Structure 1
Amino acid sequence: MTRSVPTIEGDMPPAMHTEVDGESQAGPPIIDAGPRNRRGTIPLHVHEQTPLLQQESEGLESAHESLAGPQNEAVGGQKSFWRTCRRPSLLWILPFLIVYMLGVGGTAVPRINLMMSLICRDNMARKATQNPSFTYLPVIIGSHNSQCQTPEVQSKLAQFQLYFNLLAGILSALACPRLGHLSDRYGRTKILALSAFGTVLAESITVFVAARPDLVSVNVLLLAAFVDGLCGSFTTIMALTMSYASDCTAPSKRSAAFGYIYGSLFVGVAAGPMLAAILIRKTGQALSTFNASLALHVLYFISVLVVVPESLSKERQHIARDSHRSKVSNEGEMGWLSLENFNPKRLITPLSILFPPVGCPSTLFPNRHGASPALRRNIILLTAIDTIAFGVAMGTAQVVIIYAEYKFDWGNVESSVFISIVSIARVINLFVVYPIVTAIFREPPKPEHIVSGSSTCEVVLIRISLLLEMIGYVGYAMSNQSSAMVLSGIVTALGGIAIPTLQSSLTKHVPRERLGQILGAKGLLHALARVVAPTVCSLLYSLTVGKFTPTVFVCLGALFGLAFCGSFYIKPHVSLEDSYPGSAHGEANEEEFASDSML
């Protein structure tokens, strides 16, 4: 007589033993329909053969584990090593950012010469058509042409550059905040790759124009500006790189991380033109610099898409997407191609998050208490001062050289030496001095769910940097010798730590879930400053040259003086607890950040 008795097994369905009673001792052996060589199988019925079978199975199990143990440990060790290597870190993205900036810096001067030679060629051809007796030397595209150094050609070049910068800057201003929001929902590296793809397309158009100038007009370069601006351009890549660094860097190390990012920018600005000059000297044509720049941008695009690990976890991306869906379902959202987006009011709409209301929920602070008055004031002041510092840096890049060449009769060699000295001073300041200072005066980290605000060290650094910038620009205005001009440039370079410190401090005033939005709004301000600041500085210089030539530097020194006074209203350690309800406290704490030894 037989009956089935179940066994208890951890994760397996009950196995059935065949029980044999005393009358059928000569029957078939005990059969376990379930897997017998698993720990956790406990037969409910015990008979004389059970111990022997259990010992046998346990022996087989121990033998199997002794053989499989080293293999499992090796596989586990490999996986752990791979996870450690693929952890998001500033060390992943920084080398490729330098590659990108080398491409940007290397084509800055050749692109201007390409525009000028194309404009000069068209202008000369038009004159020859109108006056058959008019003769001119052939224009070598992309090279120095003495016949093009006329006020008429210079004026047309300035107008074309204005159109080029306006087109790229306005489209970038429209795209930057939206791409920042997308990066919160779909990851930083994907949106970085999208912006880099726009740069690749724009550089491809430039290469085509430089290779076949006889087939196209200079206006084709406006298409490159359109594509580059539509994908966010340089300002979006910098803003998203800041977001990436914020994701994978502890708040206490964020200032140094931003310093490295801006140091990489100036490495490209300093080394790019020198490498381009060497390449042109060896190849004899400017086209080689555009080809090299295209190759560098393609390398950057592939790297951020394939090599650089994503800094936002899948969970945080899903939370951001769910939050966006609920917002769209409640408020609605217009498409990117809607004509309403080109309304000037819509252009500045993303900036509204920089003015969070006090005492009630907002986009940045959806908790029921909202922002505090001190928190709101800090955000507004930090954003305004950061925009001033960035705009002045962009607006004076050309004016300083023009002023020095006018006053001290500098040529290409002297101007290049001046740029190299100032850029090297900036790189040393951002890569050596700044990290050491932030490491010495680093404050202990606070829990992740607490908005910690600016540290005392950051506030002091902001004030010192603004003071140095003010002294440097006043020094430009008062310089009567070349050595004084160079010394003033070094002083302004030492004040260059203001921008990374301001941006690092700004990120400490919002929850991590809102970093993409706040940096996207900052990118919009940078895009607007990229258009407005050079126009204002160039216009002011053109109106005052020959009368009181250093007027522009006096005005900029006064502007930095106002910013320096405003920095005393920035309050350190303005904190807000539980600023983002629903986020897991401690979900991404210090353990999530990469342990970068360089920070």
Structure 2
Amino acid sequence: MSIAIRADEPIAVEEEVNNINRDDPIVVDNMPHIQTKSKPSQVYYLWPCYGLYAMAVGMTFAPNLEVRSKIICEGYNTPNCQEVPSFKNDVADLTIKLSLITGILACLTTPYWSSLSDKIGRLPVITLTSAGYFICNAINAYVSTRLNPSEMYLLYVSAAFDGISGSQSTVMAISHAYASDCTDNGSRAHVFSQLMGVLFLGVAAGPALATFVTRYTRSFEHAFIAAAVASILMLVISLIIPESLPKQKKEHIHSQQSTHSMHSLFRTPSVLDNFKKPFSILAPRTDPDDKSINVNLLALSVAYFPIVLAIGAVQIKFLYTKFRFDWDVSQLGTFIAYIGTVRALALLVVIPTTIKTLRRYLKPAVELPTTTIYEDEDEDTINEDLLAKYTDQGEIKFDLVLLRVCLIADSLAYVGLALSGNIFTFAAFSAVSALGGGANPAAISSLALLLSPNKSESSGAVLGAFSSVQSAGAQIIGPALYGLIYSHSPNSLFLVVIGSTFFISLAATFFVKYC
């Protein structure tokens, strides 16, 4: 249903805004060029592709740790590596190095892939990433069958392929850009939350499938083969589902960007370009209306950084869990599947239902002008920008509250994990962390698009900038920081540090201005 706003009689802006269903496109009389077309159902086409990638990642979590542990153990020439004092530290160090390789390369390539998706479409980039991830899993499958310490360098080659193809940060950025193409302006937290739910549904299904394959074949290397097959299926799906970016929008974005560059479409940016671009988007800007400094995207990136640092600690967390409870591949895979299931249910059911209910009964308060719009002499007039501005303010308030509540829950959960004395309390606090932490990236992505001071900035570029923050935090700094803390201090201290950093995120959200 479309809503046509007319001025046949005096209307109050507040009354008109409250009567608008945010799911309906707005058509303003005598202004047909601003009609928006929402295709939220098209997002569902992406779910199988996104889910397969997540499932492949989930299938390789435990096997990756097992390969690293066994290949290092082979170098010791001892039947019981657990008795070697440096064993856990060596496994952690290898994990950190591989994460750094992937993270640094992903941080350099994600801005390029994101910008390229604005020009050639989202799906071709997903296809390229799928191909890179297939090569990564194929190499790991080969290494896992031999476990030869002299071939450890192949693990670094595999990590490099993963990083060059953009890794998880590019998949997430392009998927969010695809979703934003299909939805109208406003809060997209519920759409991004559903995508995150699909992600963790795949992360839950992956370890369960890997456990089944491992037990059936009695060989954990087949999990890498299954992950490679999943990445091929992802590639095939990306070739047949509909593109989200209309041709007209691609041409518009390309025409805007061509004023800044006279180079070819496929010009490879320099390393400095790839570092500078995200920071130029996130940097403070002068507001043209009141000449104030707009730091919204910078504040959001500061809030996002502790979140992605925690994401980067996930392998260290699983390594800690494996050694603390002395679990094998199947047991660790079962625990990862449990965490993924809880988070998937939270993101697909609990959080979207809660958001929908709160929006229905607790409409966000917005400050509206006291003036009233009257009929013009010859034609109806209404300030659509004014309506959009005050509607977006309510959406921003809602997303900020959601983000703050989730940050507090996540912080308390990590402290609880550090203090847990048995597997039951550890599993309970892991579930609380899954409920709280899953919505954070979704809320951040929604806020980033709403708060972007440059409305001509493409969604791919904005989300790509935040994906660069994710790459730096989740794949470079996070694994290195928390890996070092885990290796050189009491084992659970890194969990306390993670929980404490969320208060930095919470403080940063209060620097967001939207009036």
TM-score norm. by structure 1 comes to 0.68
SS of aligned partner of 1:327 = coil
SS of aligned partner of 1:311 = coil
Question: Which amino acid is 2:141 matched to?
Answer: V
Q: CA deviation at 1:411?
A: 3.9
Alignment correspondent of 2:348: 431
Higher-Rg member (1/2):
1
Match of 2:281 among 350, 353, 363: 353
- For 1:522 and 1:105, how far apart are their aligned partners in 2? 23
Q: CA deviation at 1:122?
A: 4.6
SS of aligned partner of 2:105 = helix
Match of 1:392 among 290, 294, 310: 310
- Counting only pairs closer than 5 Å after superposition, residues 271-350 of structure 1 correspond to structure 2 as 271-304=205-238, 306-329=239-262, 336=268, 338=270, 341=271, 347-350=275-278
Alignment correspondent of 2:417: 476
Structure 1 pair 476–283 and aligned structure 2 pair: CA distance change class (3 A): closer
Larger RCO (CA under 8 A, 6+ residues apart): 2
Deviations 1:440-484 (A, max 9, x none): 344799969956354322121111111111221222344345443
Alignment correspondent of 1:118: 71
Question: Which amino acid is 1:314 matched to?
Answer: K
Structure 1 pair 448–107 and aligned structure 2 pair: CA distance change class (3 A): farther
Alignment correspondent of 2:27: none
Match of 2:494 among 540, 552, 565: 552
- For 1:411 and 1:210, how far apart are their aligned partners in 2? 19
Deviations 1:288-328 (A, max 9, x none): 21211111100101111x22211111111112222222211
- For 1:253 and 1:417, how far apart are their aligned partners in 2? 35
- For 2:429 and 2:64, how far apart are their aligned partners in 1? 29
Q: CA deviation at 1:520?
A: 0.9
- For 2:138 and 2:384, how far apart are their aligned partners in 1? 47
Q: CA deviation at 1:415?
A: 5.5
Q: CA deviation at 1:240?
A: 0.6
Alignment correspondent of 2:49: 96
- For 1:104 and 1:337, how far apart are their aligned partners in 2? 29
Deviations 1:113-139 (A, max 9, x none): 223333433554xxxxxxxxxxx66xx
Q: CA deviation at 1:565?
A: 3.1
SS of aligned partner of 2:261 = helix
Alignment correspondent of 1:522: 466
Q: CA deviation at 1:269?
A: 2.2
Determine if contact 2:122/2:243 at 8 Å carries over to the other structure: yes
Q: CA deviation at 1:533?
A: 0.9
Alignment correspondent of 1:465: 406
Unaligned runs of 5+ in 2: 1-36, 367-382
Structure 1 pair 551–216 and aligned structure 2 pair: CA distance change class (3 A): closer
Residue 495 of structure 1 pairs with residue 436 of structure 2: yes
Q: CA deviation at 1:357?
A: 1.7
Residue 509 of structure 1 pairs with residue 451 of structure 2: yes
- For 1:182 and 1:520, how far apart are their aligned partners in 2? 10
Question: Which amino acid is 2:406 matched to?
Answer: S
- Counting only pairs closer than 5 Å after superposition, residues 74-223 of structure 1 correspond to structure 2 as 89-124=42-77, 146-147=80-81, 150-211=84-145, 217-223=151-157
- For 2:60 and 2:339, how far apart are their aligned partners in 1? 19
Structure 1 pair 334–254 and aligned structure 2 pair: CA distance change class (3 A): closer
Q: CA deviation at 1:347?
A: 2.6
Alignment correspondent of 1:531: 476
Q: CA deviation at 1:194?
A: 1.4
Deviations 1:397-417 (A, max 9, x none): 5336626954xx564587566
Q: CA deviation at 1:246?
A: 0.8
SS of aligned partner of 1:286 = coil
- For 2:332 and 2:63, how far apart are their aligned partners in 1? 16
Q: CA deviation at 1:177?
A: 0.6
- For 1:562 and 1:457, how far apart are their aligned partners in 2? 20
> RMSD of the alignment, in Å?
3.3
Deviations 1:123-170 (A, max 9, x none): 54xxxxxxxxxxx66xxxxxxxx4576344544433332322111111
Once the two structures are aligned, what percentage of the paired residues are identical?
A: 24
Q: CA deviation at 1:517?
A: 0.8
Determine if contact 1:114/1:210 at 8 Å carries over to the other structure: yes
Structure 1 pair 323–394 and aligned structure 2 pair: CA distance change class (3 A): same
Count of matched residue pairs: 449
Q: CA deviation at 1:521?
A: 0.9
- For 1:448 and 1:238, how far apart are their aligned partners in 2? 30
Deviations 1:325-384 (A, max 9, x none): 22113x99995375xx2x5x963543221014214xxxxxxxxx389747x332222222
Deviations 1:534-591 (A, max 9, x none): 221121233321xxx54333333322223223323334x54xxxxxxxxxxxxxxxxx
Residue 440 of structure 1 pairs with residue 440 of structure 2: no
Structure 1 pair 462–371 and aligned structure 2 pair: CA distance change class (3 A): farther
Determine if contact 1:426/1:494 at 8 Å carries over to the other structure: yes
- For 2:497 and 2:147, how far apart are their aligned partners in 1? 41
Residue 379 of structure 1 pairs with residue 297 of structure 2: yes
Q: CA deviation at 1:435?
A: 0.9
- For 2:102 and 2:57, how far apart are their aligned partners in 1? 14
- For 1:213 and 1:113, how far apart are their aligned partners in 2? 10
- For 2:40 and 2:277, how far apart are their aligned partners in 1? 36
Structure 1 pair 396–92 and aligned structure 2 pair: CA distance change class (3 A): closer
- For 2:406 and 2:150, how far apart are their aligned partners in 1? 47
Unaligned runs of 5+ in 1: 1-83, 125-135, 138-145, 360-368, 575-599
- For 1:544 and 1:168, how far apart are their aligned partners in 2? 26
Question: Which amino acid is 1:104 matched to?
Answer: V
TM-score norm. by structure 2 comes to 0.78
Question: Which amino acid is 2:412 matched to?
Answer: I
Alignment correspondent of 2:162: 228
Question: Which amino acid is 2:316 matched to?
Answer: Q
Q: CA deviation at 1:508?
A: 1.5
Residue 239 of structure 1 pairs with residue 173 of structure 2: yes
Alignment correspondent of 2:339: 422
SS of aligned partner of 1:508 = helix
Determine if contact 1:195/1:237 at 8 Å carries over to the other structure: yes
- For 1:244 and 1:170, how far apart are their aligned partners in 2? 25
Q: CA deviation at 1:189?
A: 0.8
SS of aligned partner of 2:95 = helix
- For 2:421 and 2:311, how far apart are their aligned partners in 1? 22
- For 1:215 and 1:563, how far apart are their aligned partners in 2? 41
Determine if contact 1:399/1:541 at 8 Å carries over to the other structure: no
- For 2:457 and 2:209, how far apart are their aligned partners in 1? 40
Alignment correspondent of 1:32: none
Structure 1 pair 410–155 and aligned structure 2 pair: CA distance change class (3 A): closer
Question: Which amino acid is 2:283 matched to?
Answer: F
Question: Which amino acid is 1:383 matched to?
Answer: S
- For 1:105 and 1:522, how far apart are their aligned partners in 2? 23
- For 1:393 and 1:263, how far apart are their aligned partners in 2? 15
